[in-house]
Amino acid sequence: MGQACSAASNKLSAAAEKRNGEDAAGSTVITINVRLIGFDHHHDEETVVRVEPRFSMRLQLADRLHLWDRRVRRVIFGGLDIEDTVEDTFELHGIEDGACVSLCVSTWEEIASDGSAPQLEHLALVELNTLSRGHSWERPWQKERVPRVGGVTLDEQGCVSEIDLHYNNLHGSLTEALAVLPQLQVLYLVQNRLQGGLPDSLSRLSHLTDLILSHNELEGSLPASYATLPSLTHLNLSHNKLHGLIPEEWNTGFHALKQLDLSFNALTGHPVAFAGAAQLEHLALHNNAFFVQQVSAV
């Protein structure tokens, strides 16, 4: 990690106008390189952030990385494991300009198992907004109104049941936080610019009936666990950059599935028979890279 930290630090140092100096507001700022530990699988890259050394590490890092601050557990620096509290500062622990730190962050699965976590659905929607660059959405949210915002439907108990943000200029990655919306039935994010992998944690959404993520830039493999979704009737992942084999689990699962569209990806190998999907009415697999056995002319 040392070479990567050094390269990232040098690159940022050349671009910084006032290294170890003052920002526009007159406050001393430093730049540090942060690697997340225990975070979602598609967020394991180093991130360079600018912080003020005399103020809280937890609150600043959460703000810069668009995280709920209670997800930040501790900071690792120079072999020392710092139990991070709001009172801990970079200056207090000798963390200076160009330093490399690791940040231990709770996953949403861990948060969901913690009964004391407040306003879980609200926080999940806020993270969806921040990780997909909500400031650039075509129909942006007013965060103070979450969850009563455009594109979100609540059931009679006030739980999130549908999210429809199609054609809304969503960027970035799809957050694991959606897995803590237990009553979610419809996730409709068609025609955006979402990247990264498909969160495996969506398989915990037992009420999900419609998972429609077509026409994005999603990549990686198909999660085997999606085949266990008990209520899923419509799955559309077409027009993305998904690759690899169709998981064998998909051959025996999807007992409620009626429509499946995986077309226009880069999937390989042999398609499975989807023998477990007895209710399947529509299947689209075209425009992939599946192996087709050549039959010689006699």
pLDDT in tens, 209-256: 999 999 999 999 999 999 999 999 999 999 999 999 999 999 999 999
Q: Which of 119-133, 138-152, 167-181, 198-212 comes out lowest in average pLDDT?
A: 119-133
pLDDT score, position 39: 59
- Predicted confidence (pLDDT) at residue 144 exceeds the cutoff of 60: yes
- Predicted confidence (pLDDT) at residue 197 exceeds the cutoff of 90: yes
Structure-token match 């004391």, residue found: 116
Note the pTM of the prediction, 2 decimals.
Answer: 0.74
pLDDT score, position 24: 43
- Predicted confidence (pLDDT) at residue 45 exceeds the cutoff of 60: yes
DSSP assignment of 202-255: GGG-TT--EEE--SS--EEPPPGGGGG-SS--EEE--SSEEEEEPPTHHHH--T
Instruction: Tell me which residue of 238, 150, 152, 140 sits closest to 187, measured CA to CA.
Output: 152
User: At which of 76, 106, 136 does a domain end?
Assistant: 106
Q: Are residues 68 and 169 in the same domain?
A: no
Q: Are residues 246 and 281 in the same domain?
A: yes
**Distance (Å, whole) CA 107 – CA 93:** 26
Cα–Cα distances in Å, from 186 out to 130, 146, 294, 297?
Answer: 20, 18, 41, 48
**Does residue 120 sit in helix, strand or coil?**
helix
Q: How confident is the model at residue 85 (pLDDT cuts 50, 70, 90)?
A: low
pLDDT score, position 27: 55
Q: Are residues 55 and 81 in the same domain?
A: yes
Q: Is 159 left (phi over 0), alpha (psi -120 to 50) or beta?
A: beta
Residue 263 placed within a domain? yes
Share of the chain above pLDDT 90, in %: 52
Q: Please, what is the average pLDDT of the chain?
A: 84
Q: How confident is the model at residue 50 (pLDDT cuts 50, 70, 90)?
A: very high
Residue 21 placed within a domain? no
Q: How confident is the model at residue 37 (pLDDT cuts 50, 70, 90)?
A: confident
More confident residue, 115 or 107: 107
- Predicted confidence (pLDDT) at residue 273 exceeds the cutoff of 90: yes
Domain count, the chain: 2
CATH code of the domain in which 148 resides: 3.80.10.10
Q: Are residues 120 and 56 in the same domain?
A: no
Q: Are residues 197 and 212 in the same domain?
A: yes
Domain range for 157 is 113-290
User: At which of 106, 140, 171 does a domain end?
Assistant: 106
Residue 34 placed within a domain? yes
- Predicted confidence (pLDDT) at residue 187 exceeds the cutoff of 50: yes
- Predicted confidence (pLDDT) at residue 21 exceeds the cutoff of 90: no
Maximum average pLDDT range among 34-48, 129-143, 222-236: 222-236
